[in-house]
Structure 1
């Protein structure tokens, strides 16, 4: 735990999702809330997307961080802020100057601790 899902539009030239996941994981480790091996991250590229009504020069990058319930609002706000800063730095350094408007968002959500299940295969 936690689970991090990075979604991004494929019209972001130069965006490297693997590097983004690494930077986001580092931001989470630096928060002192998680150990590296506990973070499960994945990236999902959106080929087909719609932003607004007919806008064509728009892209987005969104992160959803799912945590077991119980952390304070202050901790969740700090995590959201750290992830947003990492995303802004990544997008600024990876995207060539373009006419794209890029929307960058982060959401931190709770998973019900009593209902979350985790297992590992026995070999």
Structure 2
């Protein structure tokens, strides 16, 4: 834990998802709430999307951070802001598009979460 899932619109052609995930992982470890080995992140390019009613000129990056329940609102807000700042730094400027960037922190019930590490 945590799991970070980043979705981004296909029209962000200069967006580098690998660099974004690397920077986000650094930010999450730097928060002091997670061990480096436990941070898992992935990105999905969304090819079919719509933002409002206009077909062009808009893009998005949306992140969901799944963490085990029990952390305070203050910690969740701090994590959200860390990821938001990281995403802002990674979204290219000068694209001519309005890019919406959002972050959601989602609690996973500790009693329902299971994990095992299989050594290779």
3-state DSSP class of the match of 2:112?
Answer: coil
CA distance in 1, matches of 2:4, 2:70: 17
Note if contact 1:87-1:104 (Cα within 8 Å) is conserved in structure 2.
Answer: yes
1:44-59 counterparts in 2 under 5 A? 44-59=44-59
The alignment yields a C-alpha RMSD, in angstroms, of 1.3
Query: What is the TM-score normalised by the length of structure 2?
Result: 0.94
Structure 2 unaligned residues grouped into runs of 5+? none
Q: 1:77 to 1:103 in 2, by over 3 A?
A: same
1:6-21 counterparts in 2 under 5 A? 6-21=6-21
Partner residue of 1:111 out of 78, 100, 108: 108
Q: CA deviation at 1:36?
A: 1.1
> Larger deviation: 82-91 or 95-104?
95-104
- Deviation beyond 3 Å, 4+ runs, structure 1: 120-123
Residue 29 of structure 1 corresponds to: 29
Residue 102 of structure 1 corresponds to: 99
Structure 1 unaligned residues grouped into runs of 5+? none
Aligned residues: 120
